[in-house]
Structure 1
Amino acid sequence: MTPAVPLVLLGLVDAAFSGFRAYAGRDARIRKHRAIARAALRGLAVGATLLLAPVLITALLLLTAPDRTRTYNVLAAGGLGYLLPLAVYATAVLLSLAAYFVLPFRVSTLAMVIGLGPLTLLRPLAVAAACLGAVLNGGGESALLVGVIAGVAVLCVEPAVHRRWYHHALGKPG
């Protein structure tokens, strides 16, 4: 099984959350479901565009490889190694989100503060762990290259969305 599909889906979901985080706290309206959905879609669009970079690099590596089967197998092993730390991280995020939506208000707020807050700050470390996992699982330099490019892409979504649509929202001149 190729880990490409789960990795792309994970990257796109992360991009949607990044769009939401770029918008969060910038609007005092009570009913802001449309604005939240718009922010998530903006993150998704930016993320999908940025995630084309690792896809193109992977295609280039495969097209220029002397032994495509071997290169594919190495990239697949690296992708699986990349996926494992991200799956652990995503599980922790999902548990925090589930606690937020299921538990009573005070406990869910605490779950948000001690769960999602620190997990957001740990995103770069999760990407670094994923890159290390790609190498340790036999992905070598090519998987590390694709992993670093993918990691930089997902980490750049939130700043890109913020800069494009929300940098002026806190009273700063547009």
Structure 2
Amino acid sequence: MTPAVALLLLGLVDAAFSGFRAYAGRDARIRKYRGNLRAAARGLAVGAVLLAAPVVVAVLVLLTAPDQARAYETLTAGARGYLLPLVVYATAVLLSLAAYLTLPFRAGTLAMVIGLGPLTLLRPVAVAAACLDAVFNGGGPPSLLVGATAGAAVLCVEPLVHHRWYREVQ
């Protein structure tokens, strides 16, 4: 699997979780499976649209480059660098989710509070680290441009879903 495909899949999974987070706490019912699925689907749809932006930027970088093979290598190196911090972050999230789902109720709740809560707040830091690593891994300014566009896209999913479907009417 190429780094670009892995990043796209990671971005789409993050978008689904962002849709869920936009909905979380809005419904006091105990069984809200359908609402959770609908929120995740909304996040996924918004994320799919927003993640088209970095794809367009990458294609434009490739098309306008004097040496397209070299530009492709540069973007690939940047994508590998971008992927590393996000894989570390995603692993921490998956471990917290696994603890939440497998531990007894109180321990699982504690795992969520001390794991997923702070990790949600660290998402922008993980994206910034990914952008820096894309540059330092050999991607240079083109990878920073694509990475910053992708980072902005994934960080905008939750606010957009919240604003469109879940904000309180005053």
User: Which TM class, normalised by the smaller chain length?
Assistant: over 0.9
- TM-score (normalizing by structure 2): 0.98
Identify the residue that residue 127 of structure 1 maps to in structure 2: 127
Partners of 2:6 and 2:54 lie apart in 1 by 14
Residue of structure 1 equivalent to 2:156: 156
Return the alpha-carbon distance in structure 1 between the equivalents of residues 64 and 141 of structure 2.
15
Cross-structure match for 2:92: 92
Q: CA offset at residue 87 of structure 1? A: 0.2
Q: CA RMSD in A?
A: 0.7
Residue 120 of structure 2: SS of its match in structure 1?
Answer: helix
CA distance in 1, matches of 2:45, 2:25: 21
Q: CA deviation at 1:2?
A: 2.7
SS of residue paired to 1:29: coil
Partner of 1:104: 104
Partners in 1 of 2:103 and 2:29 — Cα distance?
24
Give the residue type in structure 2 aligned to 1:102.
Answer: T
Gaps of 5+ in 1: none
Amino acid at match of 2:33: H
The alignment of Structure 1 onto Structure 2 pairs a total of residues equal to 170
Give percent identity, aligned residues only.
75
Q: CA deviation at 1:42?
A: 0.1
Q: TM-score normalized by structure 1? A: 0.96
Mapped to 2, the partners of 1:32 and 1:94 lie a distance apart of 22
Alpha-carbon shift at residue 147 of structure 1 (Å): 0.3
Q: For structure 1, which segment, 87-96 or 59-68, has the greater mean C-alpha deviation from structure 2 after superposition?
A: 59-68
Residue identity opposite 2:81 in structure 1: G
Query: 2: CA distance between counterparts of 1:21 and 1:156?
Result: 13
Instruction: Give the corresponding residue for 1:2.
Output: 2
Task: Give 5+ residue unaligned stretches, structure 2.
Answer: none
Equivalent residue runs for 1:111-122 within 5 Å: 111-122=111-122
